[in-house]
Amino acid sequence: MDRMKAEIINPFLESAKLVLHQLIQISPSTGTLAVKSVKPVADHIWIQIGMTGQLSGNIIFGLHEQVAMRIVSAMMGGFTITEMDDMSRSAISELGNMISGNAGILLSNQGVTVDITPPSVVHGQDFTGIMPDKALTIPLLMDGIGELDIQVLIS
């Protein structure tokens, strides 16, 4: 595996753990780093963050709709979420924004200058665009909530 990509994923991983802990008081564990195929999945949501500067590409957070609703519910103090409506999509987008902004700071501290685009939230079946076949992926495992995949697509 390309060592550079592994170094890029770490700030996003650390940032995601920190932000999830701050927002919903859970401490996710880290799954196994792997290369996975990138493909649309009908009942999944993708939070896509673009990067430009010294790094060019996308970071994509992939999660099942049910997992997204559990995270949004926890972000809203336990209010039950039954669908990914505009407010839920906005909340999950903000989660992506917070993780990416924090990761941008961590990258900057490593001497890597990047600009990060605002997140776009896409449902699996609407997932389009030119995507590589494979991405470096690491899952975050959240007890009682589910899994959040962090995928690095760097050209």
Task: Give the model confidence (pLDDT) of 22-72 as tens digits.
Answer: 999 999 999 999 888 777 778 899 898 999 999 888 889 999 999 999 999
- Number of Cβ within 10 Å of residue 119's Cβ equals 23
The Cα–Cα gap between 114 and 88 comes to: 28
Q: What is the pLDDT of residue 1?
A: 46
Two structure tokens written together for 138 = 């690491």
What is the distance of C-alpha 62 from the center of its chain? Answer: 6
Residue 74 structural domain = 3-154
**Between 39 and 148, where is the model more confident?**
148
pTM of the model: 0.88
How many residues does the structure list for the chain? 155
Does the pLDDT at position 123 exceed 90? no
Sign of CA dihedral 90, 33, 67, 141: negative
pLDDT tens digits for range 65-114: 999 999 999 999 999 999 999 999 999 999 999 999 999 999 999 998 99
- The residue with tokens 């390309």 is 2
Two structure tokens written together for 86 = 């505009």
- What CATH number is associated with residue 34? 3.40.1550.10
Q: How confident is the model at residue 125 (pLDDT cuts 50, 70, 90)?
A: low
Q: How many domains does the chain have?
A: 1
For residues 12 and 30, the answer to whether their CB atoms sit within 8 Å is no
